[in-house]
């Protein structure tokens, strides 16, 4: 929980540096949860069958991130493009992204990652708590061992998420560099549409 609060505080500082109220930054993250959460819901992973749904849970985790990242990226791209209107050259626009809005995107991804880990661990803990009733001491010890393994798995997938984020960050930066290289005049709608197409590919 403390890690989540720490990442939220970092987001607040970075959002302020971008001239953005943190409530809008948090709304962008929350809105970007909608589509990936619907994908998870469609998998019908049951808290009563975590062990049986192990592979499905891993598949869902991967799908969640590959859906969330372009969704949230586009939110930050729109914020960035809106701030570029007064800039006269693409070099300044790229610098604004790298120094201000890319850190905003990264901070939002870190908040999302901590939220996902927290929610997953909470779901696993609820499952094991529910199934620990009426067990013998030895059975409880075995169950506790399973719980520890699940918590370790959550942490490991949190680390995997960092790699996925880093990979998308590079794709995002290349997309922005490509669009700016081809830019002839500032057109907010055109910029956003081109980046949407590249980021969703």
187, pLDDT greater than 80? yes
Say what the pTM is: 0.85
Q: What is the DSSP letter of 98?
A: I
pLDDT over threshold 60, residue 105:
yes
Gap between the Cα atoms of 87 and 22, Å rounded: 24
Structural domain boundaries, residue 93:
2-200
Does 109 score more than 90 pLDDT?
yes
Q: What is the pLDDT of residues 147-180, one digit of tens each?
A: 777 778 778 888 889 999 999 999 999 999 999 9
pLDDT at 73 over 60: yes
Total domain count, the chain? 1
Long-range contacts of 80-85 (CB under 8 A, 24+ apart): 81/188, 81/191, 81/192, 81/195, 82/188, 83/18, 83/19, 84/186, 84/191, 85/186, 85/188
Contact predicate 114/103, CB 8 Å: no
pLDDT at 158: 84
Res 132: pLDDT: 67
């Amino acid at each position: 929980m403390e890690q989540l609060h720490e990442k939220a505080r970092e987001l607040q500082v970075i959002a302020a540096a971008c001239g953005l109220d943190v409530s809008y930054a948090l709304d962008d993250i929350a809105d970007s949860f909608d589509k990936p959460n619907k994908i998870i819901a469609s998998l019908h992973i049951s808290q009563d069958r975590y062990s049986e749904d192990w592979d499905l849970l891993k598949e869902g985790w991967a799908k969640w991130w590959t859906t969330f990242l372009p969704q949230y990226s586009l939110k930050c791209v729109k914020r960035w493009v809106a701030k570029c209107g007064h800039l006269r050259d693409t070099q300044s626009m790229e610098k604004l992204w790298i120094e201000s809005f890319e850190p905003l995107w990264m901070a939002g991804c870190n908040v999302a990652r901590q939220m996902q880990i927290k929610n997953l661990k909470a779901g696993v803990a609820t499952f094991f708590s529910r199934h620990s009733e009426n067990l013998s001491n030895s059975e409880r010890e075995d169950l506790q061992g399973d719980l520890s393994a699940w918590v370790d798995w959550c942490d490991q997938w949190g680390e995997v998420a960092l790699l996925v984020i880093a990979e998308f960050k590079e794709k995002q930066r290349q997309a922005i560099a490509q669009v700016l290289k081809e830019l002839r005049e500032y057109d907010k709608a055109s910029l956003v549409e081109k980046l949407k197409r590249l980021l969703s590919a």
